[in-house]
Each structure stands twice: as structure tokens, then as C-alpha cells.
Amino acid sequence: MRGYITKRLLIAVVTLFGMSIVIFVLMRLAPGNITDIIFESAGYVDQEDKKRLEVELGIDRPLPVQYGAWMRELLSGDLGKSYHYELPAADIIKPRLPVTLELAFLALAFSILLGVPFGVISAIRQDKPLDYVLRVVSLAGLSMPSFWLGMIVILLLVRSFGWIPSVQYVSPFDDLRANLAQFFFPALAVGYRSSALIMRITRSAMLEVLREDYIRTAWAKGQREGPVVWRHALKNASLPVITLIGIEFAFLIGGLIVTETVFNLPGVARYLIDAIQWRDYPIVQNLVMLIAVIVVLANLTVDLLYAWLDPRIKYGRP
């Protein structure tokens, strides 16, 4: 097990190194840079002033030198300085990060709490009316974009209760009730789509496990439905479900741009679009690297959970 963890960590480091190169190169391949955008918005171009600004920002240096400087700053914990706001990148990212993480965790909680139980119920009630209803609900969740569902929710809330999303972020440490009220509907709108996917995977895995011999033996011995389904069948059917949950969490971290915009949440996903438009390299590079780190850690966590859920898996052996 220790050998497997070491191997996976090395692969993670190599993956992140490759991702850093891709992120760095793609940002520079986009036409224009921060100085072009600044001078274009000002309505004039003074080549001397433009060159002076490029030297000040450090984007006149060769690309390998810029990449090396970014890596040194990143490894030392220094996220650099925002070109657009002329503030440390950490000061811009830090207050926005909890917003996106809270929304992602709440959405994931909704998706698990709705998707797993409904998937199990749909499997044990296969081809019954309840199964058909749950399958339609899951298909609707996969068909509706979360941002469209979010706008429909806002329209219904405004029309029925006169409620609109708060224009200012409320921290859970300041007012927990107001914070949960602010995040409940966007998390539900995002989590509904993920729960639909989790429900369908759970149903498919459960149907396969329920046909196994040891499950039929448990039924033949007169075991109660609850322990057989929830303790034995679900545990053995959980591997693909956990894989999907890990992938969905990584997707949620980077896929909340439109949802944060619709519900007026000042998260990093929403701010990332503005940073890309401004070619604000320190912000974009560090935010995308953060998403890459979360994806790698999510995959590593899923692999480690496999060994705990399935004793037949013996990592680290040839």
C-alpha cells in the first residue's frame, strides 16, 4: 500500500508539472496581452510607454524565464501580483476561494444525498412505477443545464415569494442562516444534475450486484431487505459510484462559472473569466493550477478508497 501511494504521488507530481506547462503555453498563445488590452481601452498606443509597462510586468522576458519565475514563486507560496488590479494575487483569490468551495461541497452533498438513495430504490424496484418515475427525474436532470434551472428557480422564487439572491456574499461565520439561504438554491440547482448522473450509475451498479449468487443466497436464507441491500449490495456496487463522485467534485470546482454569475456569487470560477479576458497571467495560472491540484487529489482519494471498500484490491504488488 505504501509503495502504491508513493507511486501515485510521483505520478501526481509529473501530471501537475505537465499541466503547468500546458497552462503557461496556452495563455501565451492567446492573441494580445495585458499591455495591448490596457492601451486599446485607453484609445492610444505609445510604443515607449507600452515597452516600459511590459518591462515592469516582466512579460518582455523570454518564455522559459517567465515560466521559471512562476514556478519559483509558486513553490515558495508566492502567487505573484495581479497585472490588472496591481495587488498580490493571493489577496484576490483568498476571499473568493471559500465561496466556490462551499458551493461545490454543498452541491456534492445534495448530489450524493439524492443520487445514491434514489439509485438504490430504483434498482430494487426495477420496472415498477416508482422506478420509471425516478428514471424520468434523472433524465430530466441530465437534460437541463444547471444555469437554466437556476434561472427558473430564481423566477419562481421572485414570483411566488418575492425573494431574490443577495447582492453581497454572507459568510457562514457572520450569519449561518443567511449563508445557507444564499447557497441552498444554487447548490441544489448544480447538485441536481450531478445527482441524476450518480443515480443512474448507482442503479446500474446495483442491478449488476443484486444478480450475484451471494445476494440470491442471502435472500434464500431469509435475510431482511435492509441489511442485504444497504450493507452488502451497496458496498460492493459503490466503486463506480465513488469514481463518479470524485470526478464530479473536480468538475464542480471548475464548472461553476455560470451558476456563480446567475446567483451573483463572488467565487473564483466567476472571476476566472474576467482574468482570462484581461490576460492577467498570475491569476489565471494559479487558479487553473488550483483546479488541476484538486482534480489530481480527488483521483488519488478515489483510488485509496478502493482499497478500503474492496479488500480484494492489493495495491503495490506486481
CATH fold for the domain made of 97-279: MetI-like fold (1.10.3720)
- Residue 112 exposure: Cα atoms within 13 Å on the Cβ side: 16
173 Cβ neighbours under 8 A, 6+ residues apart: none
Q: Is the pLDDT of residue 195 over 50?
A: yes
Q: Which residue has the higher pLDDT, 146 or 242?
A: 242
237 Cβ neighbours under 8 A, 6+ residues apart: 202, 205, 206, 208, 209
Q: Is the pLDDT of residue 315 over 60?
A: no
What does the domain layout of the chain look like in residue ranges? Answer: 2-82, 97-279
Name which of 196, 205, 204 is nearest 136 in CA terms. Answer: 196
- Given a contact cutoff of 8 angstroms between Cβ atoms, the answer to whether 224 and 141 are in contact is no
Compute the radius of gyration of the chain from its Cα atoms. 24
Residue 316 confidence (pLDDT)? 47
Convert the pLDDT of each residue in 59-93 to its tens digit. Answer: 778 888 888 888 888 888 877 778 777 788 888 88
| Band (247; pLDDT cuts 50, 70, 90) | confident
Q: How many CB atoms lie within 10 A of CB 244?
A: 20
- Given a contact cutoff of 8 angstroms between Cβ atoms, the answer to whether 114 and 191 are in contact is yes
Q: Is the pLDDT of residue 118 over 90?
A: yes
Convert the pLDDT of each residue in 86-111 to its tens digit. Answer: 788 888 888 888 888 888 899 999 99
Q: How many CB atoms lie within 10 A of CB 45?
A: 11
Three-state DSSP class for 147? helix
Range list of H helices, 211-280: 213-220, 225-226, 234-254, 257-262, 268-277
Residue 92 confidence (pLDDT)? 83
222 Cβ neighbours under 8 A, 6+ residues apart: none
| Band (318; pLDDT cuts 50, 70, 90) | very low
Name which of 225, 60, 262 is nearest 146 in CA terms. Answer: 262
- Residue 289 exposure: Cα atoms within 13 Å on the Cβ side: 23
Q: Is the pLDDT of residue 236 over 50?
A: yes
- Residue 16 exposure: Cα atoms within 13 Å on the Cβ side: 22
Determine the average pLDDT of the residues in 225-246: 83
